[in-house]
């Protein structure tokens, strides 16, 4: 499959560009109320020393499969990992977090999948909510059986009404493994029961089976993660549906996931430069903070620096992605209020109410 690469160097800039008061600094990015759409629970248990970020997809997934997942093998460690994630994201200025995890059972510790999920939910409920609200997505691993996938969906359905914390299901894992057709029934059941669907999508150039991307789109997801290796036809389909694209700059660069004449790709090669100019919502994420050493505020700063995104545009990335979260209407309204209040307090021109924001965006599109 030929990969569609949009070459628009006009939006690129050097890291050495002179500072401008209309462009955000790192403090602005830290303070900005941010939305993290898809963070793995197990991540805080991995921390690479500075200068040791040297991964590709071949070496990355064995790290998680062999070591990291096995560290979260008891109620205590699950609670510890969950609280660590909540604390770190709150400190980074995140206003809304969707945490994802693969439900796991460990016979040697007596941990069941039900206890695993209940422990996460209990930790989320006990955490203060004055600054950040958290929801949970249960993930299906690409190496799961159809029965395991259905078990995960049924677990999500059982807990969906538990204070509205469980909001969706995800497909993740090694993108070179498995046949995604076996998960059709699981995602159909999830959709029919009102769960949000997000899929890790087009992470590698050669998918394991023919027409994998079409099959995944037939699951009717609302969001796609990464969406790197797509041809023009798939791009058109995604844009027609206005699906939200979850993008992780540091992960894609350091894991050498980008199609580029430069080995592994550079930040300025990232397909963010294409997606953020479309009418698809874009949600910046971290994917794996500990492995790639980049907090969500830093991901926003990288996007601003490499693609010349000003303060209003960066604010609007968060604002526009609100409609793509899996929480209910009340939570979306809360986030709009938080972002509008923050925008006015930080003197962003035109940020008065939802109508004024949409008017500015409409004018920009016409220009």
In 146-158, which positions are buried (b, 16+ CB within 10 angstroms) versus exposed (e)? eebbbbbbebbbe
- The conformation of residue 19, written as its DSSP 8-state character, comes to P
Q: What is the mean pLDDT of the chain?
A: 85
For the cut 60, the answer to whether the pLDDT of residue 199 exceeds it is yes
Q: How many CB atoms are closer than 10 A to CB 294? A: 22
Q: Give Cβ neighbours of residue 358 (< 8 Å, ≥ 6 apart).
A: none
Q: Sorting pLDDT into bands at 50, 70 and 90, what band is 253? A: confident
What's the confidence (pLDDT) of residue 364? 52
Mention the CATH class of domain 23-366.
alpha beta
| Beta carbons of 104 and 72 less than 8 angstroms apart | yes
Q: How deeply is 366 buried, as exposed, middle or buried, from its count of CB atoms within 10 A (0-12, 13-18, 19+)?
A: exposed
Dist CA 306 CA 261 (whole Å)? 18
Q: Give Cβ neighbours of residue 44 (< 8 Å, ≥ 6 apart).
A: 81, 84, 85, 88, 289, 290
| Beta carbons of 95 and 133 less than 8 angstroms apart | yes
Dist CA 22 CA 365 (whole Å)? 19
Dist CA 35 CA 89 (whole Å)? 10
Is 203 among the catalytic positions? yes
For the cut 70, the answer to whether the pLDDT of residue 98 exceeds it is yes
What's the confidence (pLDDT) of residue 92? 94
Q: Give Cβ neighbours of residue 88 (< 8 Å, ≥ 6 apart).
A: 44, 289, 295
Distances (CA, A) of 180 to 40, 151, 218, 273, 327: 21, 16, 11, 29, 26
Dist CA 298 CA 7 (whole Å)? 24
What are 107-159's pLDDT values in tens digits?
999 999 999 999 999 999 999 999 999 999 999 999 999 999 999 999 999 99
- The end-to-end CA distance of the chain, in Å, is 34
Map residue 35 onto helix, strand or coil. Answer: strand
For the cut 90, the answer to whether the pLDDT of residue 365 exceeds it is no
Q: Of 242, 205, 249, which is closest to residue 226 (Cα–Cα)?
A: 249
More confident residue, 261 or 117: 117
What's the confidence (pLDDT) of residue 254? 82
Q: How many CB atoms are closer than 10 A to CB 169? A: 31
What are 267-304's pLDDT values in tens digits?
999 999 999 999 999 999 987 544 445 789 999 999 99
For the cut 90, the answer to whether the pLDDT of residue 29 exceeds it is yes
Q: Sorting pLDDT into bands at 50, 70 and 90, what band is 61? A: very low
What's the confidence (pLDDT) of residue 113? 96
For the cut 80, the answer to whether the pLDDT of residue 59 exceeds it is no
Extents of the domains making up the chain: 23-366
Q: Tell the residue number behind the tokens 């796609």, with chain if given.
A: 224
Which residue among 203, 212, 295, 299 is the active-site one?
A: 203
In 10-42, which positions are buried (b, 16+ CB within 10 angstroms) versus exposed (e)? eeebeeeeeeeeebbeeebbbebbbbbbbbbbb
Mean pLDDT of 211-239: 97
Tokens of 194: 């009102």
What's the confidence (pLDDT) of residue 338? 98
What count of Cα atoms within 13 Å lies in the side-chain half-sphere of residue 97? 28
For the cut 60, the answer to whether the pLDDT of residue 75 exceeds it is yes
What's the confidence (pLDDT) of residue 172? 93
Q: Provide the sign of the torsion angle of the four alpha carbons 112, 117, 118, 124, taken in this order.
A: positive
What's the confidence (pLDDT) of residue 32? 98
What's the confidence (pLDDT) of residue 1? 40
């Amino acid at each position: 499959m030929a990969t569609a690469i949009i070459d628009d160097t006009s939006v690129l800039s050097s890291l050495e560009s002179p500072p401008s008061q209309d462009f955000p600094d790192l403090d602005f990015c830290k303070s900005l109320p941010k939305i993290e759409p898809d963070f793995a629970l197990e991540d805080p248990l991995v921390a690479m020393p500075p200068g040791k970020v040297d991964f590709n997809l071949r070496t990355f997934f064995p790290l998680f499969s062999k070591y990291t997942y096995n560290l979260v093998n008891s109620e205590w460690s699950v609670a510890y990992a969950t609280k660590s994630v909540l604390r770190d994201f709150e400190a980074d200025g995140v206003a809304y977090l969707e945490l994802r995890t693969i439900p796991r059972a460990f016979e040697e510790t007596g941990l069941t999948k039900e206890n695993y999920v209940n422990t996460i939910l209990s930790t989320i409920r006990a955490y203060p909510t004055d600054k950040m609200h958290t929801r949970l997505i249960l993930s299906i691993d690409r190496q799961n059986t159809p029965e395991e996938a259905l078990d995960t969906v049924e677990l999500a359905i059982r807990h969906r009404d538990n204070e509205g914390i469980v909001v969706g299901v995800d497909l993740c894992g090694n993108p070179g493994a498995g046949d995604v057709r076996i998960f059709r029934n699981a995602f159909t059941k999830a959709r029919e029961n009102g769960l949000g669907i997000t899929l890790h999508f087009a992470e590698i150039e050669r998918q394991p089976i023919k027409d994998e991307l079409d099959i995944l789109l037939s699951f009717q997801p609302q969001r796609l993660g990464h969406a790197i290796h797509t041809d023009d036809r798939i791009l058109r389909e995604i844009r027609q549906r206005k699906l939200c694209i979850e993008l992780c700059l540091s992960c894609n660069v350091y894991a050498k996931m980008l199609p580029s004449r430069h080995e592994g790709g550079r930040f300025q090669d990232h397909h963010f430069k294409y997606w953020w100019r479309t009418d698809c919502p874009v949600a910046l994420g971290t994917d794996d903070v500990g492995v790639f050493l980049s907090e969500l505020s830093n991901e926003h700063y990288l996007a601003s620096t490499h693609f010349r995104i000003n303060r209003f545009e960066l604010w609007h990335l968060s604002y526009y992605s609100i409609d793509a979260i899996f929480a209910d209407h009340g939570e979306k309204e809360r986030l709009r209020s938080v972002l509008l209040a923050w925008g006015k307090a930080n003197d962003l021109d035109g940020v008065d109410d939802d109508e004024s924001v949409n008017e500015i965006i409409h004018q920009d599109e016409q220009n």
